[in-house]
Chain A
Amino acid sequence: MLSKVYTTSLYGIESNLITVETDLNNGLPALTMVGLPDITVREARDRIRAAIVNSGFKFPAKRITINLSPANTRKAGSHFDLPIAVGMLAAIGEVQTYKLDQYVFIGELSLDGKINGVSGVLPLVLGARDAGMKKIFVPVWNMEEAVLVSNVEIFPAEHLKRVVNHINGVALIKRYLKEENHSAVSLENKEDYADVIGQNNIKRALTIAAAGCHDILMTGPPGAGKTMLARRLSTILPPMSEEEILQVTKIHSVAGELSKNKESIGERPFRMPHHTISPLALIGGGTKLKPGEISLAHHGILFLDEIPEFNQNAIEMLRQPLEEGEIRINRMSGMVTFPAEFILVAACNPCRCGYLGDSKHECICSSAQIQSYKSKLSGPILDRIDLQVELMALNYTEITAEHSKGLSSREMAMNVANARNIQKERYYHMNMAYNSQLKGQYLNKYCYLDKETKGLLTEAFEKMGLTMRSYYKIIKVARTIADLDEKENIELKHIGEALQYRKTDNESMGL
């Protein structure tokens, strides 16, 4: 007997429809699996045998051939268990086949027939939908994630036996529906910029970063509040759109980052990898082609604290994603593109001991140490960071002063939302949304500078020794400042302000 069952297989963060063909023949009992299954798929045979027997069916004592078609792409993941088991039961006649081709099966089997959760469900379901399938069996564990996809019927798969009963029409499983107001994000108990005393200059820079999706580098002594300021950046970003939630959840699903109490990513991700992270973990890759931290931070924030302490290779690898908003990875198992559009927030000390230029503590670094610390952040990387600001530690009187509270997240978020709307309208007909993505001809079109403004910029260009890239970065930042100001054109003061946020390259960093 021959049977056909559908499932999907991951390819990067996309997925394709796969047909599981099962054939039973007379001969010595054996099970062969073809169609480039990897080790997790090949191990399925033992789980399936136990699950079928423990669900009260008989395992066929025949020569079994299973083909995963198309046979020329590699297949990985434990979610092939369920479709293969169903296919086998269909081949021996335990499952009725006339409705079988309407369903897609995703799930890992436990030895007692229970169905366990798997990672990557969201992209798997999306792939099935895009292939025209309507009814999908998904492990109960992954329901919330699966129902993010519209125009499909999601059925919770709890046990092999119940899935079989449903298809046979013995006991139907109810279609799972999305619970409403689940996605409402509570704004209570959140961190707030009002917690950070003073530092209005840095808060202003962070507002600009959030408004135009600009990358930012903060340099300052230990205890000045760099980490605190970075952590709160997500509080001033506008909430994600449905489409963004879907895409971010997809990436997190593939990476296996979702869990029972975090089934979808409703808030902008904030990723803060430790500085011992390997280049692969940061960028993505590995034999299974998993997304790295930069992709997990997609539509959110990637915070690299103590950036000079990071593996220098890893930091240099950020160059391409910083420019293009995505990362292409080529490996033996294929080539994938992961999106990586994030706001890079980097923080570092002015020197190794952290107290260079501080008036309270003596800097104990030798000049060679200072030089080597600074040289860790290479020119090309610094050049790509739009905003570079320096912050000071506050003294006691400033901390205790009542009036120094400064801006709160609410005020900042309003400005950011406003500026982002202006950008969205302006770039409506283009494939972009933020000033930081401006390129080439559009830069000249949307960033008109009058003579006086151009004069200031030219003068600064000479005096500060800017590169051509940073020249354009300044214009882009000025565009965002003008948007925050709700001005049609970039004015002198906007360029003037933008220039203040590009100090680091010629002052303390190039001492």
Chain B
Amino acid sequence: MINLMNKYPVKTITPLEEDYPRMLRYIKDPPSVLYYRGDIKIASNICISVVGSRHGTGYGKWAAQMLGRKLAEYEIVTVSGMAAGIDTYAHKGSLENKGKTIAVFGCGVDVCYPKANKDLMIEILENGLVLSEFPPEFQPTNYSFPIRNRIISGLSTGTVIVEAGISSGSLITAEYAADQGRNLYAVPGNINNIYSIGTNKLIKDGAVPITVIDDIIDELGLKRKESIQLKKTLGKDEIAIYEAIETGSETTVDSICKTTRKSAGEVNAMITVLEMKGLIYSCMGKIFVAK
């Protein structure tokens, strides 16, 4: 940790300086001083924030990770709060595709919260930026997180809410984004899923729904890159399984067995092969399409 402190020392920046994040200058109450570690210049690039519930479902984590990856593919900076759950996966997705990512803390930039994300924080320091308006050694408190949410939305041209319960903190971020006149996107979910109530409601109130991951690219006015047709390399049975996963929303091994009329053993074997090819992804017993 001491070595990291030397490598990525805490620096400060004020609105009077040139490198102060561009988009942050235009919000109502920009922080008068920002503490940061890492490369501050990336905060003036095009940023999109991806936030959501700390718990979330496998679906939410998948969506966050995919968004992170997609944004990194187009060299867009992913901003998030490095909280457990959705935030973590947004950062991870971006880092996986060698993208830049910014973590905005509700505590000092030398405090790692939650502690479990220590490795992730090091990775973010190496490939991006950690910033906060709270001085070093400031411990996380329940009021500091809502305040920092305005920085998350303020840094970005748009904010994506991936999953939010009825009283999720990410709804505060959504409110800030709307106040600041930034774009607001939400990932729709099943209406019987409590973590999607918040996001579905946002869509009802006018947020732009992300119906496929590429929507975020279209919204930003960028041209879609052609994705490689990996499906062509698959065998007949593998395609049957892949399609079953593609058409079912939150598929489990049991549901794939039912649609493809194969035994659990066969299905499990093929899932591994598809996973190794990077086509699908499983989380907490559910299986998703990865691309």
Which A positions have Cβ atoms within 8 angstroms of B? 198-201, 203-204, 219-220, 350, 356-363, 365, 367-368, 370-371, 390-392, 403-404, 456, 459-460, 463, 481, 484-485, 492-497, 499-501, 503, 507-508, 511
16 pairs, A vs B, C-beta closer than 8 Å = A201-B253, A204-B268, A356-B55, A357-B57, A359-B192, A360-B193, A361-B194, A362-B194, A362-B195, A365-B55, A367-B114, A368-B114, A371-B114, A501-B268, A507-B283, A508-B283
Contact present for A459 and B276 (CB under 8 Å)? yes
Partner of B284 from A200, A390, A404, A494 at Cβ < 8 Å: A390
Q: Which residues of chain A come closer than 8 Å to B83, judged between CB atoms?
A: 367
Residue B116 is within 8 A (CB to CB) of chain A in the complex: yes
Give, as a whole number of angstroms, the nearest-CB distance from A481 to chain B. 7
Which B-chain residue is minimally distant from A508 (CB atoms)?
Answer: B284
Contact present for B285 and A496 (CB under 8 Å)? no
Contact present for B285 and A220 (CB under 8 Å)? yes
Q: Which residues of chain B come closer than 8 Å to A496, judged between CB atoms?
A: 268-273
Size bracket of the B interface: 35 or more
Residue B139 is within 8 A (CB to CB) of chain A in the complex: no
Give, as a whole number of angstroms, the nearest-CB distance from A456 to chain B. 6
Complex Cα gap A392–B283 (Å): 12
Contact present for A200 and B285 (CB under 8 Å)? no
Contact present for A392 and B252 (CB under 8 Å)? yes
Complex Cα gap A363–B258 (Å): 29
Which B positions have Cβ atoms within 8 angstroms of A? 54-59, 83-85, 88, 114-116, 165, 190, 192-195, 250, 252-254, 257-258, 263-273, 276, 282-286
Give, as a whole number of angstroms, the nearest-CB distance from A239 to chain B. 25
Partner of A497 from B55, B115, B268, B284 at Cβ < 8 Å: B268
Contact present for B194 and A359 (CB under 8 Å)? yes
Contact present for A507 and B264 (CB under 8 Å)? no
Contact present for B269 and A497 (CB under 8 Å)? yes
Q: Which of A201, A368, A456: most chain B CB closer than 10 A?
A: A201
Using A359-B250, A390-B285 as known contacts, say yes or no to A201 and B257 having CB atoms under 8 A apart. yes
Give, as a whole number of angstroms, the nearest-CB distance from A470 to chain B. 15
Partner of A507 from B88, B114, B269, B284 at Cβ < 8 Å: B284
Contact present for B269 and A204 (CB under 8 Å)? no
Q: Which residues of chain B come closer than 8 Å to A371, judged between CB atoms?
A: 114-116
Give, as a whole number of angstroms, the nearest-CB distance from A236 to chain B. 15
Q: Which of A203, A361, A370: most chain B CB closer than 10 A?
A: A370
Complex Cα gap A363–B163 (Å): 13
| Extra 12 A-B pairs, beta carbons < 8 Å, given A493-B266, A493-B269, A496-B270 | A200-B264, A201-B252, A204-B268, A367-B54, A367-B114, A391-B285, A392-B285, A493-B270, A497-B265, A500-B269, A500-B271, A500-B272
Q: Which residues of chain A come closer than 8 Å to B267, judged between CB atoms?
A: 201
Contact present for B57 and A359 (CB under 8 Å)? yes
Complex Cα gap A367–B55 (Å): 8
Complex Cα gap A302–B59 (Å): 34
Give, as a whole number of angstroms, the nearest-CB distance from B77 to chain A. 24
Q: Which residues of chain A come closer than 8 Å to B276, judged between CB atoms?
A: 456, 459-460, 463
Query: What 6 pairs between A and B have smallest CB-CB spacing?
Result: A390-B285, A496-B269, A367-B84, A496-B272, A204-B264, A493-B269
Complex Cα gap A367–B56 (Å): 12
Give, as a whole number of angstroms, the nearest-CB distance from B135 to chain A. 24
Q: Which residues of chain A come closer than 8 Å to B282, judged between CB atoms?
A: 503, 507
Which A-chain residue is minimally distant from B250 (CB atoms)?
Answer: A359
Q: Which residues of chain B come closer than 8 Å to A363, judged between CB atoms?
A: 55
Give, as a whole number of angstroms, the nearest-CB distance from B1 to chain A. 19
Partner of A392 from B85, B193, B270, B286 at Cβ < 8 Å: B286
Contact present for A370 and B84 (CB under 8 Å)? yes
Contact present for B284 and A201 (CB under 8 Å)? no
Give, as a whole number of angstroms, the nearest-CB distance from B140 to chain A. 11
Contact present for A456 and B55 (CB under 8 Å)? no
Complex Cα gap A200–B285 (Å): 13
Complex Cα gap A361–B197 (Å): 12
Q: Which of A203, A494, A511: most chain B CB closer than 10 A?
A: A511
Give, as a whole number of angstroms, the nearest-CB distance from A448 to chain B. 18
Q: Which of B114, B195, B269: most chain A CB closer than 10 A?
A: B269
Contact present for B192 and A204 (CB under 8 Å)? no
Q: Which residues of chain A come closer than 8 Å to B192, judged between CB atoms?
A: 359-360
Which B-chain residue is minimally distant from A365 (CB atoms)?
Answer: B55
Q: Which of B84, B114, B265, B267: most chain A CB closer than 10 A?
A: B265
Which A-chain residue is minimally distant from B273 (CB atoms)?
Answer: A496
Which B-chain residue is minimally distant from A201 (CB atoms)?
Answer: B253
Complex Cα gap A201–B258 (Å): 11
Q: Which of B57, B283, B284: most chain A CB closer than 10 A?
A: B284
Q: Which residues of chain B come closer than 8 Å to A358, judged between CB atoms?
A: 57
Which B-chain residue is minimally distant from A357 (CB atoms)?
Answer: B284
